[in-house]
Structure 1
Amino acid sequence: MTSPLPSSSAASVLDLAPVVPVVVLADVSDAVPLARALVAGGLPAIEVTLRTPVALDAIREISGAVPEAVVGAGTVIAPEQVTACAAAGARFLVSPGWTDVLLTAMRASGLPCLPGVSTTSEVVALLERGVREMKFFPAQAAGGTAYLRSLAGPLPQARFCPTGGVGPDNAAEYLALPNVACVGGTWMLPADAVAARDWARIEDLARAASRLRVAGGTCR
């Protein structure tokens, strides 16, 4: 069985790179070249969202053909999706929100998971359950950097990957916060570049994103 994360690198998916690309694929044939471009640009953690019919096949293709990628499944909202994603080769799971039923299924899979939160109460509830790493979503709409900065004092043990409204103009502001380990975004995957299969452009955008800094230094 494939290890969820490379044993020789970071212990957490949040520490693999400053940015996790959030990928929505309409054509499964784009999965492997897109993943290779992102990895070549320095973004090995790739979240493929379950928003299209080909998502599971895309995860399976990337898992089999791009071993240097750490491919995960996003928009996981049901226990049966957890099982399907694990079978397809996903190495981490991301949800936009969570319930006890969903959280139990994600943790039972043995895969690293990032349950989504947008309120202080949700963060506290996850901390009570032993979860310290979370997706903050929708980041901008839920209060942005000001909200996360306010959480750092009373809840310093929580680490976040803000996603939703994060782009090249504000990513650095998020990454400067002490409780933000990385951000999720789509700006290195412009629709016209994907449609044109301009993998070189995507690699260049990924490389620029990989050079962003986090609080205390560069991401590992």
Structure 2
Amino acid sequence: MSETLSALRAARLVPVVVLDDARDAAPLAAALVAGGLPVAEVTFRTPAAADSIRAMADRGDMVVGAGTVLTSQQVDRAVEAGASYVVSPGLSRAVVERCHDHGVLALPGAVTATEIQAALELGLTTVKFFPAGTSGGAPAIAALAAPFGDLSFVPTGGIGPKNLHDYLAIPAVAAVGGSWMVPRDRVQAGDFAQITRRTSEAVALASEAESATAKASV
């Protein structure tokens, strides 16, 4: 298991961030760290993505990845900026192979047995399950985990405080991605104090879910 994947497993939560202005990256990173979650997935949905990744990665105390990566060229830009993992909404051989070339963790989207087998053929051990909420949710992951026992999942999409426990209770789930602790409008408004509060609450909720799962398994 890579160090990056181990760090994501330890965090259990991956904030999915959309940044419109790279100047917000540093205070956002500080807010996440202050909230107890030194992890971020910065999506390549805006021109500020690469500079934002660089600003966050340069801190040296965060695991920073690039999300919504669709091309091998974007992989190059993300890695050059300091991303240690790359997340894609779907499974692209070109993107996965470029990640392998750079030695960074690839987390492509896969929600069917066919897509998962294709991911396994590319040497992957973990996939993104996206969009989780409209692809069967936690029950679908639990069902897929049965025949693919060595695979782990990072579900994203439609996950929040109300259903977080459902996903974290599944042993095959390495971490859960979500944006509820880093809403785009709060970032744009510079309300980083609220983001720290939301992050702290999310971390506490994940810890509660972990404890409940551990007790149930005894």
Task: Report if aligned partners of 2:15, 2:181 keep a CA contact under 8 Å in 1.
Answer: yes
2:192 matched to 1:199?
yes
Task: Report if aligned partners of 1:23, 1:47 keep a CA contact under 8 Å in 2.
Answer: yes
- Distance, in Å, in 1 between the alignment partners of 2:116 and 2:141 is 11
Report the residue type matching 1:68 in the other structure.
D
Report the residue type matching 1:203 in the other structure.
T
Consecutive unaligned residues of structure 2, counting only runs of 5 or more, are: none
> Which runs of structure 2 are paired with 1:1-220 in the superposition (5 Å)?
5=3, 12-64=6-58, 66-211=59-204, 212=206, 213-214=209-210, 215-216=213-214
SS of 2:154's partner is: strand
Report the residue type matching 1:88 in the other structure.
A
Aligned residues with identical type, % of pairs:
46
Report the residue type matching 2:26 in the other structure.
V
Q: 1:129 Cα shift?
A: 2.7
Task: Report if aligned partners of 1:76, 1:82 keep a CA contact under 8 Å in 2.
Answer: yes
Task: Report if aligned partners of 2:93, 2:122 keep a CA contact under 8 Å in 1.
Answer: no
Task: Report if aligned partners of 2:5, 2:105 keep a CA contact under 8 Å in 1.
Answer: no
TM-score (norm 2): 0.90
SS of 2:11's partner is: coil
- Distance, in Å, in 2 between the alignment partners of 1:192 and 1:108 is 36
Q: 1:56 Cα shift?
A: 0.5
Q: Larger % of helix: which?
A: 2
SS of 1:12's partner is: helix
Q: 1:11 Cα shift?
A: 5.4
Consecutive unaligned residues of structure 1, counting only runs of 5 or more, are: none
TM-score (norm 1): 0.89
Q: 1:193 Cα shift?
A: 2.4
Task: Report if aligned partners of 2:156, 2:178 keep a CA contact under 8 Å in 1.
Answer: yes
Q: 1:216 Cα shift?
A: 4.4
How large is the Cα RMSD of the aligned pairs?
Answer: 1.7
Q: 1:163 to 1:11 in 2, by over 3 A?
A: closer
